[in-house]
Amino acid sequence: MTKGKTIALHSYKGGTGKTTLIANLAAYYAKIGLKVCLLDFDLYAPTLSMYFRKDPNLNLNDLLRGETGREVEIRDLLVDLSPELGLNGKLYLGFSSPGKEDINEIEIKHEQKWQLAAIKRFLRAKRQLFEELEIDYLFLDTSPGIRYWSINALATADLLFLIMKNSDMDIGGTKKMIADIYESLAGLGAKYFIILNKVPGALPADELRWGADEKAFESGLEKDIGTKIVGSIPCFCDIQFSKHEFLYAVNQPNHPFSKSLATLAENIRGLQ
């Protein structure tokens, strides 16, 4: 029986920095010697292929589609970035197609029969990842909001992390999602937590305004939502407005973002 964990990152809306976080978390774990696979399960607006600047011949759409003929295996579409990035462990990437036709196909493929078949194919692929490739962590980057495919993907995870900013819209939307979705998923055995991202505190002026109130805010938010906060990542302008922010956790390990992310990564490991 596998000891690996499936981790899904989700958010009420876009713009929370979810993809940057999940890419850096996956790379950090591979950097310290673990075997990690990251799959782009945001089939409606995939971005990992652009983030990593890859254009693979096969993608997750091919696996989930399951057309007649030879079934696509998960091994067929994975890209091993470990040698390129000089990692001590393994970092496998599975990309979704950013093509208009593939995205449109997902938009109309909401019938129960297709969804059930696609999930069955993914669960088979997931077993192969854990049993044959001996993955320690499988990361799923999901579509924000309440979408049919996202809920199905979340249901396959062991640990669920809601990424949010400290805005009224994020807080209200996250509370609604927890009530509508996550409490039901918890009944299936999944555990869910909150990660605060892009919070004030990276600049002295922010620190004066926010620093003393951070713990009080987190404590109040946990009480309000009833969910544990496992990490808080400050907002760094040099990352947020970078033309191509790319794996600070690997390329700039001494950056404050990388150090905050390392703390978050260890907090997540401690949950198990």
Taking a C-beta distance cutoff of 8 angstroms, is the pair 161, 27 a contact?
no
Half-sphere exposure of 189 (CA within 13 A, CB side): 6
- At 207-229, the pLDDT tens digits run 444 455 677 878 888 998 889 99
- At 27-42, the pLDDT tens digits run 999 999 999 999 999 9
> What is the pLDDT averaged over residues 9-33?
96
Residue 13 has what pLDDT?
92
Above pLDDT 70, what percent of the chain? 91
Taking a C-beta distance cutoff of 8 angstroms, is the pair 162, 142 a contact?
no
For residue 192, which amino acid is it? Y
- At 228-262, the pLDDT tens digits run 999 999 999 888 888 888 999 999 999 999 999 99
> What is the pLDDT averaged over residues 161-174?
92
Residue 73 has what pLDDT?
92
Whether the pLDDT of residue 112 is over 90: the answer is: no
Residue 71 has what pLDDT?
77
The CA distance from 52 to 32, in Å, is 20
Whether the pLDDT of residue 201 is over 70: the answer is: no
First to last CA, the chain: 16
More reliable by pLDDT, 86 or 43: 86
pTM for the predicted model, two decimal places: 0.92
Residue whose C-alpha is closest to residue 102's, from 37, 169, 56, 159:
56
Whether the pLDDT of residue 129 is over 80: the answer is: yes
- Per-residue pLDDT band for 110 (boundaries 50, 70, 90) equals low
Task: Please enumerate in sequence order all residues whose Cβ is within 8 A of that of 38, keeping only pairs 6 or more positions apart, or say none.
Answer: 22, 23, 26, 48, 91, 92, 93, 94, 139, 141
- At 46-102, the pLDDT tens digits run 999 999 999 999 999 999 988 655 678 999 999 999 999 999 999 999 999 998 888
- Per-residue pLDDT band for 146 (boundaries 50, 70, 90) equals confident
Residue 241 has what pLDDT?
81
Q: Give the domain ranges of the chain.
A: 5-270
Separation in Å, CA 66 to CA 44, 62, 171, 229, 234:
18, 7, 38, 38, 42
Taking a C-beta distance cutoff of 8 angstroms, is the pair 29, 136 a contact?
yes
Residue whose C-alpha is closest to residue 6's, from 124, 118, 157, 151:
157
Residue 203 has what pLDDT?
47
Radius of gyration of the chain, Cα coordinates, nearest whole angstrom: 18
Residue whose C-alpha is closest to residue 239's, from 214, 212, 261:
261
CATH of domain 5-270: 3.40.50.300
